[in-house]
Chain A
Amino acid sequence: METGKKEKKFISLVVYLHNEEYQIVPFMEKIVPLIDTHFEDFELICVDDGCTDGTIEELKTYLEKNNLSVMVNIIHMSFHHGLESAMNAGRDLAIGDFIYEFDTVRIDYSPESIMQVYERLLEGYDIVAAGTTDRVRFTSRCFYRLYNKTSKGKGIIGPETFRIVSRRAVNRIKSMGQYIPYRKAVYANCGLKMDVIYYRQEGESAGSKKVGTGERASLALDSFIYFTNVMERLSLIASCIFLLITVGMGVYILWDFLMGISIVEGWLSTMTFLAFGFFGVFALLTIVLKYLSVLLNLIFKQQRYLISDIEKVVKE
């Protein structure tokens, strides 16, 4: 990109913050001047997802000290919502032509990657992510492999650090009218062109160290239910197995009968069958219940996240 010439597009930066008091200022110092040199107009939206440390104070001090000529909004979530809901709130507030989503303020990529995804986007993609394959944790790798194998849509997803999304993609997602439990998967399934740029990690890992295992597991499970047919297959396999056992038992009883063997001796096997049968019923019930809860979510829970305040910080 030519230096000195600023892009006319209006850019929104959405940044996720959850207790990052030591990372927030270095992030701002790297990203804001970079965006400022490349774009004529941009806004910054910081999502305060229940920060309990000095993150927000650090951020405000930084903004005050640097006297930025940019609009900054801080969305204060009512309580800790987790990455996905909080970032949905951030994206919903953004007004830009293109929206950068920074899932973390930990920078393990070179600043050029930020402009690279933008340039890639201009080549005709609606969503461009930046990700790395270095040092991805084992469980994540398993998740992505299984997910991509079973996903109903075409999109392939992987570990991503930040991404840029076009207004068209955002509108598309809105008109699909769906709840967005997992942005990556929804973007991948929205039917618009998507691409990932891989970078080599520099310095400290950006890994989402703050996200609890429980949260990750629940997100993974939800994603499987929404976007893949793993659960359908599982229940199908389970049903098949139970069917086989039932048929096997039938054959066994028939054989006993034909051979004239006393039925009382088959007591043990009957009980085994019963136990298996009930187990099967309960397993199926679990899956059905999970589906029901998802349906409930889709239909009834209108307000996906709760914010307590939107605070405008600078800009005359």
Chain B
Amino acid sequence: MNREYDKIIIGAGLYGLYAALYSANKGEKVLVLEYDRTPFGRATYINQARVHMGYHYPRSLTTAVKSAGYFKRFVEDYGFCIHSAFDQVYATSNKFSWTDGEQFKEFCRAAGIRCDELPPSRYFKPGMCDGAFLTQEYTYDAKILQGYFTDQLKDKRNVTLLYGVRIGEILREDRHFILSLNRDEGRGEKEYYSAPFVLNATYASVNQILNKLENVEMENFAIKYELCEIILCEPSDVLKNIGITVMDGPFFSIMPFGKTGLHSLTSVTFTPHVTSYESLPTFSCQKRLSEKACGRDAHSGQEAGMVCTPENLANCNLCVAKPQSAWKYMSHLADKYLLKEYGYRYKESLYSMKPILKSSEVDDSRPTAIRVLCQEPTFISVLSGKINTVYDLDEYL
């Protein structure tokens, strides 16, 4: 049995579902494959939920300008999931920052983005920050965005979404790719699907999917992997309508998390827990997980029998072997900077895997990498850490 499609899209994150909807609107027959049981379960949901305007990249003007360009379009297209009614404050740390207040102002002028000076003493303890700026940057609510995409796709008869899928191998045959896979989280029978076009939109699993390719020359993305923790907290009334980001170095950010009423707390030093420099994500917690699974503790398992290997990354947020929270470190770092009235309380931690292109460390740029491996049949991989650069995909679809 070999079911044929026009496009097969791997990964039901924002990039995957965006591509599915885009292609479906052109009348193409699309198949979306997802490892988890739900869409938007990983990086699309578990991140700072910033709609980037470019402020984050004071050392990479190209990244900044591009973000700013897409910002407007994204806000217009998906306004329903955007939370914009809060003051987004960027500040430059007095110590250890690669960029100071003056340079930041200069950079904003060059990028043509809003930047109004504020007194740092309004938010920060004396001597901690040498500049504070009111900026225009929003946050998106991944759950609302997910609802929108699933609603849109539900009505499309030419789109099939399969969840809990385990891909075996991807075979190139003439002008098609044939994917073999098991459904029901690997328990189902082997099935085959084929299409002349495959989009690999799996973010942290991008190399894992590439490695499933048979009889095709491929090259892994040069990435490192960071297992990241985002802390959700309840902000005090004063903090409720304020987002604060201290740059540009080992600092932190506390800002609204979509429309949830919660704030996300992250820090450059403490958010990444462990790093893997292998081409496939290899972590000690994978071993810990398999040991735990052997012990089979009936009460602990959110996802009983979960398997995670360098070849098949499971969902870190559902894993029982995730690292201990760095809440104490992150909150101490934030408290060191913030005035007392900007308080917050711990709610929960979210974990996800984040791939980082190795080439982008010096200027801290975050390019959207789209690589066409071959054409006829076409295999395209996309890797991007920002939601609003999703439009980069258009010309490839």
Contacts and interface: CB of A to CB of B under 8 A. Distances in A.
B332 A95 contact: yes
Nearest to A43: B329
A220 B162 CA distance: 73
Contacts of A177: 126-127
Contacts of B100: 302
Contacts, number: 53
A43 B330 CA distance: 12
Nearest to B336: A95
A73 B100 CA distance: 22
Contact of B269 (A10, A41, A73, A316): A73
Given A10-B328, A71-B329, A175 B127 contact: yes
A255 B310 CA distance: 102
Contacts of B270: 71
A95 B329 contact: yes
A316 B285 contact: yes
Interface string A70-94: 0101000000000000000100110
Given A307-B96, A316-B273, A171 B125 contact: yes
A10 B96 contact: no
A174 B127 contact: yes
Contact of A96 (B128, B250, B269, B332): B332
Contacts of A96: 332
A316 B323 contact: yes
A40 to B, nearest CB: 8
A95 B323 CA distance: 21
A315 interface: yes
B127 A93 contact: no
Contacts of A95: 329, 332-333, 336
A312 interface: yes
Contacts of B326: 71, 315
A175 B285 contact: no
**Interface of chain A, helix or strand or loop or mixed?**
mixed
B324 interface: yes
Interface string A33-66: 0000000010100000000000000000000000
A92 B284 CA distance: 32
B269 A312 contact: yes
A95 B270 CA distance: 12
Contact size range, A: 20 to 34
Most buried by B among A95, A302, A315: A95
Contacts of A93: 95-96, 250
Given A174-B127, A315-B273, A310 B250 contact: yes
Contacts of B249: 310
B96 A92 contact: yes
B325 to A, nearest CB: 11
B142 to A, nearest CB: 25
Interface in A92-124: 92-93, 95-97
A290 B248 CA distance: 35
A190 B323 CA distance: 41
Interface string B267-299: 001100110000000001100000000000000
A73 B250 CA distance: 11
A10 B270 CA distance: 15
B228 to A, nearest CB: 12
Nearest to B275: A312
A77 to B, nearest CB: 12
Contacts of B323: 316
A316 B274 CA distance: 5
Contacts of A175: 125-127
Interface in B80-124: 95-96, 100
Contacts of B324: 316
B250 to A, nearest CB: 6
Interface string B327-353: 011001100100000000000000000
A43 B96 CA distance: 18
Contacts of B125: 171, 174-175
Interface string B211-233: 00000000000000001000000
Contacts of B285: 316
Nearest to B121: A175
Contacts of A171: 125-127
A41 B333 CA distance: 13
Interface in A156-207: 167, 171, 174-175, 177
Contacts of A167: 336
B355 to A, nearest CB: 18
Contacts of A73: 250, 269
Contacts of A315: 273, 326
Contact of B126 (A174, A302, A312, A316): A174
Contacts of A307: 96
A92 B129 CA distance: 12
Contacts of B269: 71, 73, 310, 312
Contacts of B126: 171, 174-175, 177
B297 to A, nearest CB: 20
Contacts of B333: 95
Nearest to A96: B332
A310 to B, nearest CB: 6
A71 B250 CA distance: 14
B327 to A, nearest CB: 10
B128 A174 contact: yes
B23 to A, nearest CB: 40
A93 B270 CA distance: 13
B96 A41 contact: no
Interface of B: 95-96, 100, 125-128, 227, 249-250, 269-270, 273-274, 284-285, 323-324, 326, 328-329, 332-333, 336
16 contacts: A43-B329, A73-B250, A93-B96, A93-B250, A95-B333, A97-B332, A171-B126, A174-B127, A174-B128, A175-B127, A310-B96, A312-B269, A315-B326, A316-B273, A316-B284, A316-B323
User: 7 tightest CB-CB pairs across the interface, nearest first?
Assistant: A174-B127, A175-B126, A316-B323, A95-B332, A92-B95, A95-B333, A316-B273
Given A71-B329, A89-B96, A174-B128, 5 more contacts: A73-B269, A89-B95, A95-B333, A97-B332, A316-B273
